[in-house]
Amino acid sequence: MKTPLTLCFLMFSLPVWAGMPVQSHAEIRLKVSEFVQEQTQAMPGKVSLKVDGIDPRIVLPACPGFEVFLPQGTQLSGKTNVGVRCKDSWSLFVPVQIKITLTMLIASHPLQQGQTLTATDISTQSGEVSQPGILTDPAQALGKILKYSLGSGQILKQDMLRAPWSVTQGQMVKLRVRMEGFFVTSEGKALNNAAEGQPVQVRTASGQVIGGTAGADGAVEVKP
């Protein structure tokens, strides 16, 4: 991230720019602040940000239509960098510090791997979000299965949970093929676990393996 700043300093501090209008650092920082506020306004919780200063040695030619953008792979949380560029002229990255404070879900007591979460297993606490995927709504966790054991007070994240299986490996399941106006059904043995809406492989009595989608009722929907 330091390279663009170095290039800008080398290019735009040369005498060739002497006497030409220069780009205001304050204006750049203001536009970066407005951009980040716009990009984070839909985020839950309270968002606060600080746009760091730009090296005063960097002198840029004035650019009325410069663009603020988010570099590929950049997340708007914690310490990050926001890009600013002037078409066919210059570009740089401006450091930004973003803090998101919200009410998050935590384990109310020690929880075991494979446990189905109920209301008594979940509490809330207010704090700064320092990682993605943190859960904020009890509906995101209730009825879900824990992939890992958790200690009391540990923050709940999306990747810690899975939906309950509607089909389990080795289970005899009903295969349901939807035709125009009617269903054709048969039976087979599930070859993998699957939650509602997930793909599942089924071996029929003839030995044929058919792929389908697990339904909420434990049946497997097969496309004709």
Predicted pLDDT at 128: 86
Strand-strand pairing, 172-179 and 220-222: parallel
Instruction: Specify the pLDDT at position 160.
Output: 97
Tell me the backbone φ, ψ of residue 138, rounded to 5 degrees.
-50, -30
- Please say whether the structural domain 165-222 has been given the CATH code 3.40.80.10: no
Chain segment 170-182, per-residue pLDDT in tens = 999 999 998 777 7
Q: pLDDT tier at 137 (50, 70, 90 boundaries)? A: very high
Q: What is the pLDDT of residues 149-163, one digit of tens each?
A: 999 999 999 999 999
Which CATH number applies to 101-162? 3.90.1210.10
pLDDT at residue number 11: 46
Read off the DSSP letter of residue 61: B
User: What does the pLDDT read at residue 107?
Assistant: 97
Nearest to 198 by CA among 213, 186, 218: 213
Q: How far apart are CA 160 and CA 134, in angstroms?
A: 10
pLDDT surpassing 60 at residue 14:
no
State what percent of residues in the chain have pLDDT above 70. 92
pLDDT tens per residue, range 77-134:
889 999 999 987 899 999 999 998 999 999 999 999 999 999 999 999 998 887 778 9
pLDDT, position 105? 96
What is the rounded average pLDDT of the residues 125-146?
A: 90
pLDDT at 19: 65
Beta bridge partners of 134: 157
Going from N- to C-terminal start, the domains of the chain cover 2-99, 101-162, 165-222
**Alpha-carbon distances of 14 from 17, 18, 94, 158, rounded to whole Å:** 6, 8, 22, 51
pLDDT of residue 4 exceeding 60: no
Average pLDDT value over all residues in the chain: 89
Give the model's confidence band at 5: pLDDT under 50 very low, under 70 low, under 90 confident, else very high.
Answer: very low
* Prediction pTM value: 0.63
Rounded distance, CA 185 to CA 206, Å? 15
Using 50, 70 and 90 to split pLDDT, how confident is the model at 18?
Answer: low
Q: What is the pLDDT of residue 179?
A: 79
Query: 56, 55, 82: which is closest to 67 by C-alpha?
Result: 82
